[in-house]
Structure 1
Amino acid sequence: MSPIDADASTVLITLREQIEPSGDSDLVGAMYQLEDLYERKLWFQLSEVLSQNVYKNENSKPIRLKLFENFVLKFNDKINQLKLIEFLLLSLQDCDLKERLEYLTDLKDLIKNRKNIKKTDDDDIADIDIIQALLFLEIEIAGVKLNLGFVDEASAIIDECSKQIDKINWSLDNRINASYYFTNASLLKLKGDYTAVYYNSLLFLACIDDLDNLANKHAIVKDICASALLGDKIYNFGEIIMHDIFQYLDIAWLKQLILALNSGDLAAFEQVIGSPEIKQIPEIASNVGFLKQKMCIMSLTKLVFNSPTQNRTFKYDAIMAQVPFLQNYDEVEHLLIKCFSLQLMKGLINEVNSEVEISWIQPRTMTLDQIDAMKKKLVVWSDKVSDLNQYMASAGKELWV
């Protein structure tokens, strides 16, 4: 991946002629800007034009890789190294995995072997910009190797990157964090650790400033929702339901299943699991039994959450009436013990009286409907406090006479 020995202006003229038939005057104008800024050695402004006016323009796709190889690499050590990697990643969008791996490895070697890497007096380590760039490239290489099927190699790279991140005493750039969490989530998905996939995916989303710039939004939200359903420690879907990316979930039955479980809606739940469409995601279709258990837990959580805090003692019969799929008291007790072990709630089981007293329930991220229900409960509570206040004011008058 070495730039040709052509003059930068010649390269830009050639590429400009290639895109002129598209009629995109903004992109053509940006190419003139690049030539001017390159001649004046205004590297920061040059990288900004590349970022905002060229690489974000869809019409630049046919020339991106040529532009990177024959122009950007000419001043690769003059601009922010993370931007340099970003330009390469955008240039490789239409390349196959083997090509991506080759280009990423070549750029890693170029940065790593650069002779002007600075050293700090205290730690004797490379400049922060270089460290972050190499870490970014390692994670991206791990992601490509994972997609190529080299799972062990990718896992080893991610493990090494994790150790390096733990040693870093400054805040990493969000582009690196996003790449790490996304790649780690992909690796954990292959290992079947859906709970970890879900949390890593949420951390990935937290690193994305603008969802409009996120590629494959529909596939990403599909994987997150599937991992939420299959995660053995995920019993609150409020985080993903309330996230902006949820609007990009275009699989109707999957959205209905998530919403049904979160709200404890048995009718909607049974409609989905009885539908042949569920076979579109084999992992979900083969875990219907687990989902039924999760539905029981969500229904019990809903029952406790919606009950007044001063009255949270529940008879087994009342639980069986509200929670689906329970056939006898033994199953009720098993469900309660499961909830206690998952730390979803705390309480005391009274086998003699066949009842349970719930003293605490895990805080949860609420949807707008749940917030509205909470508001109504607070209004009722406020009215009771007001009535008590008026009663005390009236009854207390005689004491002060």
Structure 2
Amino acid sequence: MSTKVNEYLAERQRSAASPEIAHQWVELEDLYTKKLWHQLTLKLKDFIQDGGCSGPNELFEMYERFLSDFEHRINPLSLVEIVLRVVGDIKDPSKAIEFLEGIGAKVKGSLEAAILCETEIGTTKLECGDLVAVKALIRSTGDRLETVDTVSFIHARFYNLSSRYYMLTSAHAEYYRDALRYLGCIEMDDIPVEERRDRAFKLSIAAILGDGVYNFGELLAHPILSSLQETEHQWLVDLLYAFNSGSLPKFYELRPRWESQHDLVQSEAKLLEKIRLLCIMELTFTRPSTNRSIPFQVIADASQISLKQVEFLVMKALSLGLVKGTIDEVKQLVNMTWVQPRVLDLSQIQGMCQRLDEWSKNVKQTIHMIEDHSPELLA
């Protein structure tokens, strides 16, 4: 055992706040003496988690005088997990980043440990307002994260960082994507109720404002949205359902509520275009596959635009890849052949079930007809 480590452990045992903590320091010393590095790592993580080093600078001192002596012998990812606690003792952000960069150099042989370390560096830089550096880090680290096979808390920490960055830069679509990814990496019960409501509110706004976001089903099916039920922001859930179904009447009905949100008012023209595009998607989806020739007048009535504007709106939907089909200007028809897949809400699933039932009946009728006429066909 190192003499310096021995002196440190003896000091900690004498100055422990309670006999129980003193006993835990004795256990740590015993594991260190026996060179049981794995058991020592687990014990140290639990000890720190339970507040064994809760005094000012105690965690950083523990690292410098104890952990640094055997850090090269333990699992790199576990080392970074412990270091994430230690770095909280460093009040100067520049020194915290320098410390983390030093740890990063030591664990660079482990992809997950390196990513976790880089994510913490990015978090510190974000809190300092260095958005340019955070953007570059998210891009480089995100590419490396894609190569990690299993989803873990490392993904959660990275997506929390990236979603916070996109929120600060008003990148609504990117925030929506990564905030949902973050929620997919954690348990809902681990999020306090107030934070759930805040995240649900921001996710809803981002979904509505996000460029290229035409699929609301995943958010509507997520349990976090229930945190807005029976609150002052219940209208946001109703607005999401209006967009998801392309309902212009519901959109205007909710106008007195969404006008209280400055971002939505400023983007009213953009919101109208989005909900009209979703209206075309819904019209295509709800029609039987054998009858997807939609008259211009039907589209105009549903999307509340003039006949002259229908062709432009349909061309916009075609160019975005939301639907596929052709426009017959002479017959004033749009012949749809495909609509972009999306996550469905319960009412849409019920509608699909009804269409499947109808399709099944038609198939059975066709089978019976063939059976009835089979003698004639064979003859």
Task: Tell me the TM-score normalised to structure 1 length.
Answer: 0.76
CA contact (8 A) 1:55 1:64 kept: no
Report the RMSD for the aligned CA atoms in angstroms: 3.7
Per-residue CA deviations over 1:114-134 (Å, capped at 9, x if unaligned) read 5xx8xxxxxxxx5x22x5434
Residue equivalent to 1:229: 208
Q: Distance in 1 between matches of 2:362 and 2:22?
A: 70
Residue equivalent to 1:8: 9
Equivalenced residues, count: 368
SS in structure 1 of the partner of residue 341 of structure 2: coil
1:257 corresponds to which of 234, 239, 246: 239
SS in structure 2 of the partner of residue 375 of structure 1: helix
- The residue type paired with residue 39 of structure 2 is Q
CA contact (8 A) 2:122 2:134 kept: yes
SS in structure 1 of the partner of residue 325 of structure 2: strand
Per-residue CA deviations over 1:234-259 (Å, capped at 9, x if unaligned) read 11111222234434456422222222
Per-residue CA deviations over 1:107-165 (Å, capped at 9, x if unaligned) read 432453x5xx8xxxxxxxx5x22x543443233222222232222232344445457x3
Aligned pair 1:341/2:323, yes or no? no
1:80 corresponds to which of 75, 78, 82: 75
1:331 corresponds to which of 309, 314, 317: 309
1:369 corresponds to which of 333, 347, 356: 347
- The residue type paired with residue 46 of structure 1 is L
Q: Distance in 1 between matches of 2:208 and 2:284?
A: 21
Shift of 1:68: 5.9
Q: Distance in 1 between matches of 2:273 and 2:203?
A: 20
Residue equivalent to 1:148: 128
Per-residue CA deviations over 1:24-80 (Å, capped at 9, x if unaligned) read xxx9997776565445433323333455x55665x7794697346426735433332
Provide closer, same or farther for how the CA distance between residues 139 and 265 of structure 1 changes in structure 2, counting only shifts above 3 A: same
Residue equivalent to 1:120: none
Residue equivalent to 1:46: 40
Shift of 1:308: 0.4
Residue equivalent to 1:182: 160
Provide closer, same or farther for how the CA distance between residues 268 and 5 of structure 1 changes in structure 2, counting only shifts above 3 A: farther
Provide closer, same or farther for how the CA distance between residues 310 and 54 of structure 1 changes in structure 2, counting only shifts above 3 A: farther
- The residue type paired with residue 45 of structure 1 is Q
Q: List runs of 5+ in structure 1 lacking aligned partners.
A: 21-26, 118-125
- The residue type paired with residue 356 of structure 2 is L
CA contact (8 A) 1:37 1:43 kept: yes
- The residue type paired with residue 268 of structure 2 is V
Q: Distance in 2 between matches of 1:277 and 1:254?
A: 11
Q: Distance in 2 between matches of 1:247 and 1:258?
A: 13
Q: Distance in 1 between matches of 2:7 and 2:134?
A: 37
Residue equivalent to 2:187: 210
Q: Distance in 2 between matches of 1:55 and 1:219?
A: 30
SS in structure 2 of the partner of residue 356 of structure 1: strand
Q: Distance in 2 between matches of 1:393 and 1:241?
A: 46
Per-residue CA deviations over 1:270-322 (Å, capped at 9, x if unaligned) read 3433226732xx32332222212211112221111000011011111111222
- The residue type paired with residue 367 of structure 2 is N
Q: Distance in 2 between matches of 1:235 and 1:290?
A: 13
Residue equivalent to 1:106: 99
- The residue type paired with residue 320 of structure 1 is A
Provide closer, same or farther for how the CA distance between residues 13 and 346 of structure 1 changes in structure 2, counting only shifts above 3 A: farther
CA contact (8 A) 2:14 2:22 kept: no
Aligned pair 1:275/2:257, yes or no? yes
Q: Distance in 2 between matches of 1:359 and 1:272?
A: 33
Q: List runs of 5+ in structure 2 lacking aligned partners.
A: none
Q: Distance in 1 between matches of 2:94 and 2:198?
A: 22
Residue equivalent to 1:123: none
Q: Distance in 2 between matches of 1:350 and 1:49?
A: 72
Tell me the percent identity. 27
Provide closer, same or farther for how the CA distance between residues 383 and 99 of structure 1 changes in structure 2, counting only shifts above 3 A: farther
1:159-178 map, 5 Å: 159-161=139-141, 165=144, 171=149, 174-178=152-156
Per-residue CA deviations over 1:353-389 (Å, capped at 9, x if unaligned) read 2221111111112223322221221112112212222
Residue equivalent to 1:121: none
Q: Distance in 2 between matches of 1:258 and 1:142?
A: 32
Aligned pair 1:198/2:156, yes or no? no
Task: Tell me the TM-score normalised to structure 2 length.
Answer: 0.80
Shift of 1:171: 4.6
- The residue type paired with residue 286 of structure 1 is Q
- The residue type paired with residue 75 of structure 2 is N
CA contact (8 A) 1:260 1:266 kept: yes
